[in-house]
Each structure stands twice: as structure tokens, then as C-alpha cells.
Structure 1
């Protein structure tokens, strides 16, 4: 009799299947795809009823359903609790997930539970008669959709003209997320737990926060909030586009402990349980001020290869353990390097891609750097502006995961590898490498 656990993974692709296989005890798991990747990762439209029905058909035919997990952004994060609830698995409530996904609702929860690290904020109706007239925050501030991801439709606004341009862009693009978000709010069991204001079609204006950015990775198990790792997030000169994620964090331990306490207070207030999470904070070193940026009710998939290099296993292990109803035992110091990072080579400006590295080049680099993992996001002949899911200021042409002895070693290795990969474009443009 095959007693392996059947783990269903929303939007599973080959890249993440390989990371799932690195977890301790993976020989005891069978990983199955659940919901089409193309339906949940950057489709033209998120058809939530169709996605859920397709997933139910798969699960109804399954020999057994031991766990359902996901590592993508919205709507995956909301699909998982709906299906776990229906199939009797340990799950966070859908309401608690939506309180994380809606950035305005999450700011209301932050204001109630951790006001000392919550920036000034305001909801703006992008379809109102006079959005500018309703504005109360002073410039500058960030303006973004209440429901979105990866800085999509996020703008730094410094005057009335920029506000009008940004709110128009948000009004045009926000239905992509507002419509599926409403589909999930219709499925909640306790709607009184959700705020009465601020739907998925809301824009969020919030004060500028700054400092050293980091991400807490953790989980909530039977109501206990546990942070098991902190990674530094380095951004470019525009303070928007990410350059790298690095583990472990170099922040002072007392600062890390304060962040962990804020995470515990917020997630307890929201009622989040039985899930992995990641949470982003700024530490303004000059004034010793901590700001909470956002919380995501999932592991950060971008960190999986980082943990493999530095600890020997992807933190998919955490998501699997919690979904199976058991306490994770992660991380362990079993990696190949004391530090690891994900680098995001970016181009600042539009151009046509003339050359990308071929497989032989990449293989030769991996002989020199066995831990190196590369995912190329562009193709020869394409225009950079054809890339989807980018921030408003740059184009991410690839992802590189490498290990190093220290931070300087990591960044030197990144620049050396990018020179050898030899990407070429139709015009000379600034890059971060």
C-alpha cells in the first residue's frame, strides 16, 4: 500500500516542483498540480468560479487529499483557504486572508494593533467624482490599488498632476484584481469580520516610509506566531525596484526582535492561523523607527532557492508541514554557503532584446558555480515593454540565485556572472549590474 501523502499545489510548474522536492521527507510526498498555472498567474482575466470548479473536479477524483498549498500571490492565497475549508483540511479563515490581501483593510488592522509602525494612509475611490478633492494626505505619498502585487500600478506621487495621472491609470487597471476579490468576499462565512469600507476597487494612498527593508518569514500554528528567518531586501536608487533578497539579515538583533513582536500582534489581531506568512518591514536607522509595509499569507516563493543554498532545503517545507497539521522544524544549517541571495537584473528603459545567453553559456557558469540557478524572463527579438507584471520604473530581465561567503562576495559574483551572460539590447540603457 502506498502511504505517501498527496499534496495538491495551486498553479504548480516544473520550476517550483524541483524546489518542492528538496524538502526533508519529500520521498514521502506525491505532488499534484491544482488549477491551471495559466489561469492564476498573470492571465488576461481571473475567472474565480471557473478556477474553483476546475480545482474541485481534480480533488473529487483524487485518491486522497492530505494537503493543499500555494506559493503564488492573489488569487492563489484566497483559493487555498476556500478549498481547504471545503475538503476538511487545517486552514486559515478566508476572512483573515482577505484582511491581508486588501492593503487598505490591512492598514486598518495595523492601525488598531500596531499603530506605532503604521504610516498615515487614506482610501481613495478612483471612480469618485473628485478623487483629488477627496485627498487629505500631503505630498509626497505612494498611491496603489488596495488589491494587487509586485508593485503593479504603484506610483510615487509628488503633485496634483502626478496624482491625476496615477489615479487614472489605477482606475483603468484595477478591475483586473477588484472583480476576483469581490468573488472571494462573496464566499466568506463571517462577513461582519470585514470592514464596511474599502472594496477591491479602492486605491490606497499612504505616507512615504523608508529605511532598510527586510522580510520576515514565518508561520502561524495553532494560534502561535513563529518567525523563523529574516531576509534583507535591497532596492535600487529609485527606492522601488528590488535588486536582491539576501539571507540571513544583517539587521541588529534587537531590531529583529521588535519586528517579530509587531508580527505577532498584527496576526493575532487579524486572527490568521494555520498558514505560512511573510511580512515586510522598514527600519529607519537614523531615528530607530520601524515601519510595517505589508503582510502576505504565504511563503515568499522568491526565497525558496535562497533557503536551499543556505539551509539545504526550500521553505516549502514549512507550508507543507503547517498544511498537514504539524509544527515545522525549519531551518537547519545544512547549506553550501553561509549567505545566499536572489538577484534581479533590471533595465531602466525600453529597448529590443538583441541577445540572451544560450544554454551552453549557462551550463559553463554552473560548472564554476554549482549552486547557480537562472531563470531568463526575456527572449531575443522581444520589446522589454512586452514583459508583464513589472513595476512602473524598470524591466526585470532574469532571476539569479547564488551563494557567497559574505555580502561583498555575493554582489561581486552577481556582477561577474552578468558580464559573462552578456545580455544585449538595441539601445544603451542603465542597468543595476
Structure 2
């Protein structure tokens, strides 16, 4: 069989290893298309990135069979633009924009469900107080952001004013580029007028968090897994993703039904997706946090450890017109997690375990992978990795285990072995 050439926007070594574990990988050639650094760091110049990608694709002498990506904006918007140009399978750009523009997404959700908080569109250059329709505590965030960048939970007018000042300084990094995407689609007047540098204010949600993963194919929505999201106690910062979900079956069914209705409404097709929820199982309540028009590469190892195949399989199969079905519970472990080791103050990294020590740890503990994201000498606030508004990522720790107690033991051993030490500084 002839090898399929699959171009991957922002292909990185970690995900290349995972892609090589999907079924029929021997029939695929995964080719890098731009790198993660130029796609996600600094000022995002999406028009230049699209043109650069097109030059590389035009110069390729073989057949282009698929263009895929698993990163957030601008990759999530570039993928449908490039697929359309080269006549490949991919989601409609307008449906992607409906998911990515946080206010437009809320308008679409409102048409088919009540599973959303009270919300309002906000001008970042307007009054330093929230709309009167909202009550504290609220979240204020740009209509286009990712990894909780420039997202702030505020409890009073003073905190709101400080958050808006921070947002005004940085909202253009993604927002101006997203304006370029909005020019290519038929957005509602209020969305088009607001553009990509407006903000969404919404009342804070409560409960436990979970993410529904699925895909759409030929207009039909398929949910293939639900992942729990656990925060550090007393914070809004992710501690770990854990699969499979421990939510009651009735709650999982409710999340699935909401996801199906919303995705049918939005019209995302030939695409993976993941929808983040807050839910209160005791009351049967659920609220959508956000919709991502891509699958989560962060979850790939968990699906492989529990179900036997990484979720990248769905992305690749959809792009090639193949069956994206995932197996169920055929992996080596009963439970798996991706853990985000964080530090909650700025500072300089003075020590962490060596690469040799980390490799030794991997050999000694089956089902464990440790990926540091900062190194000795780095100031956390200047590290080339995304972080939320309240913490700094140090490492990603992937763990597969026979039960949750064993998973916690493995994680604790990894944290101790990493042995991070800092010269702390107070955040400004």
C-alpha cells in the first residue's frame, strides 16, 4: 500500500512518538509543517504563518493526503483554511470559529441548552466594572485565549479593574490574529463588531470538572470518552487529568447528551472536539466551560494506557476518511493521569533532576513518563511554556496504574525524584 503523507502543524517529538502508536502507522508518513515555537510564541501573525505553510506545501513533490493539528489557535484555525485550499478533509472554518470565539460559542450554546452561566460581552477599553446583569464572583477573559492565558477570577470592582489592566496589555497577541479569521467567515453582527479583542465576562461556575471527548463524521456526533479534571485544592489551576471519569453514569450520560446537541448545532464536521464542563452530580447540573474544535493531545497517553490506542487515531482517521472508532478498555492499565506539577510563585529554577535520573525513573516504574518543561537557570515567568494567571508549570507527569491509590504513589515518587528547588520571588 502506498504511504500516506500526513502534514502535522506544529509536529513535536513527543506527539510524533504517540502518532507512531496509532493503528496502520506503518502506512503513514508524518511530516512537520512549521514548528510549535513559531506557531504559539510571541506575536501571532496568522496570515504570514498560512503563507509560509502554503509555500512549504507547494514545494512538496509528493501527494498531500492530509493536514492535521492538535494545538490550539492558530493551529486550530489554520487547519481548516489549509485543508480547503488543498481539497482535503477538514472541518468548516466557520464552525471552528463558533467554538473558538468564546462569546459566539455562548450564543450558539444558548440556542440548544441551558447548560451555561450568565455571561456578557465586554469592551476591554470600557468601564472598569462588570455589566450590571452579572454578580461576583465572575471570570473575565479575552474572547480568544488558551491555557487560561489572561483569564482572571475576580470578586470585586478593584480586582476587576486590575484584571482588565492586565488584559488590555496582552489581548492583542491572539486577538488581532483572530480578527483575520473572523474576516473569512459570516459572523453575526454582534460578533463581527466585537472582533477578536473583546472580552467575555461570566459568572463563576462551581462543581467538579470533566472533559467530554468525541468526533463528528458525516454529520453525526460520537463521544468516545470523558476525562476528569482535578485542580490544586483552593485554586483554579489544573493538577491533573484522569481517565476514565469517576462521575456517576447518569452524569456522564447528561454530559454526552449536551455535547451531542451543541455540536450538532455548531455544525463541526470531520473533526475531533473536546468540551470542558463544570458539573454537580448530586443535583444533576452541568455547565459548559468551553468548546475546543480539536482533540486534546494532553489526553493521548491516557487513552493509550487505558483503551489501548491514543486519541490521535481519531484525528488521523477523520482526515483520511477512515473509521475513527477507538477500542474500549483494552490498554494495560485501569486508570491513567496526566499531572501538571506547578509552582505558585515566580522564581528562578536552581535545581532539578538530570535527564539520566529521569530516564532511570522511567525504567524503574512501568507506566510512568516525566517531561520537565523548565530547566535550571530559567525564571518561571519567562519560560517558553504556556501558564495560567496564577501558577507556573514545571513538569508533566504521565502515570498509568492499576488503581487510583497506586497512581498517587507513583506520582508522589516522581515529584520527589524531580527535586525542583527555586530562588522564589514575590509576583508583581
- Range into which the TM-score falls when normalised by the shorter chain: over 0.9
Q: Give the gaps of 5 or more residues in structure 2.
A: none
Pair 1:356 & 2:343 matched:
no
**Residue 47 of structure 1, CA deviation:** 1.3
Q: 1:417 & 1:101 partners in 2: Cα distance? A: 35
Q: 1:385 & 1:91 partners in 2: Cα distance? A: 36
Q: Hey, what does 1:384 align to over in structure 2?
A: 380
CA contact (8 A) 1:34 1:55 kept: yes
Q: TM-score, normalised by structure 2?
A: 0.95
Q: 1:307 & 1:319 partners in 2: Cα distance? A: 14
Point out the more displaced range, 339-348 or 418-427: 418-427
Q: Hey, what does 2:169 align to over in structure 1?
A: 172
- Does the residue aligned with 1:397 lie in a helix, a strand or coil? strand
1:97-133 residue CA offsets vs partner (Å, 9 max, x unmatched): 0010011111111111112x111001110112x2427
* Residues 209-224 of structure 1: pairs in structure 2 closer than 5 A: 209-224=205-220
* 200, 204, 215: which one aligns with 1:204: 200
Pair 1:249 & 2:245 matched:
yes
Question: CA separation of 1:339/1:133 partners in 2, compared to 1, >3 Å: closer, same or farther?
Answer: closer
Q: Hey, what does 1:52 align to over in structure 2?
A: 50
Pair 1:414 & 2:407 matched:
no
Q: 2:381 & 2:52 partners in 1: Cα distance? A: 33
Pair 1:338 & 2:334 matched:
yes
* Residues 254-273 of structure 1: pairs in structure 2 closer than 5 A: 254-273=250-269
- Does the residue aligned with 1:92 lie in a helix, a strand or coil? coil
**Residue 253 of structure 1, CA deviation:** 1.1
1:376-412 residue CA offsets vs partner (Å, 9 max, x unmatched): 1111122222234211111110001011111222112
**RMSD of equivalent CA atoms:** 1.8
Q: 2:116 & 2:130 partners in 1: Cα distance? A: 24
Question: CA separation of 1:194/1:66 partners in 2, compared to 1, >3 Å: closer, same or farther?
Answer: farther
Instruction: Give the paired residue count.
Output: 424
Question: CA separation of 1:427/1:147 partners in 2, compared to 1, >3 Å: closer, same or farther?
Answer: closer
**Residue 288 of structure 1, CA deviation:** 2.4
CA contact (8 A) 2:370 2:414 kept: no
Q: 1:192 & 1:352 partners in 2: Cα distance? A: 46
Q: 2:3 & 2:189 partners in 1: Cα distance? A: 38
Pair 1:365 & 2:361 matched:
yes
**Residue 135 of structure 1, CA deviation:** 4.6
Q: Hey, what does 1:141 align to over in structure 2?
A: 138
Pair 1:25 & 2:21 matched:
no
**Residue 11 of structure 1, CA deviation:** 0.8
Q: Hey, what does 1:401 align to over in structure 2?
A: 398
- Does the residue aligned with 2:146 lie in a helix, a strand or coil? coil
* Residues 28-107 of structure 1: pairs in structure 2 closer than 5 A: 28-41=27-40, 43-62=41-60, 63-107=62-106
CA contact (8 A) 1:78 1:97 kept: yes
Q: Hey, what does 1:120 align to over in structure 2?
A: 118
**Residue 191 of structure 1, CA deviation:** 4.5
- Does the residue aligned with 1:385 lie in a helix, a strand or coil? helix
CA contact (8 A) 2:362 2:370 kept: no
Q: Hey, what does 1:423 align to over in structure 2?
A: 420
CA contact (8 A) 2:362 2:368 kept: yes
Question: CA separation of 1:428/1:155 partners in 2, compared to 1, >3 Å: closer, same or farther?
Answer: closer
Q: 2:36 & 2:343 partners in 1: Cα distance? A: 27
CA contact (8 A) 1:310 1:336 kept: yes
- Does the residue aligned with 1:352 lie in a helix, a strand or coil? strand
**Residue 187 of structure 1, CA deviation:** 2.2
1:261-297 residue CA offsets vs partner (Å, 9 max, x unmatched): 1111111111111100011111113432111111101
Pair 1:108 & 2:104 matched:
no
Q: 2:409 & 2:130 partners in 1: Cα distance? A: 49
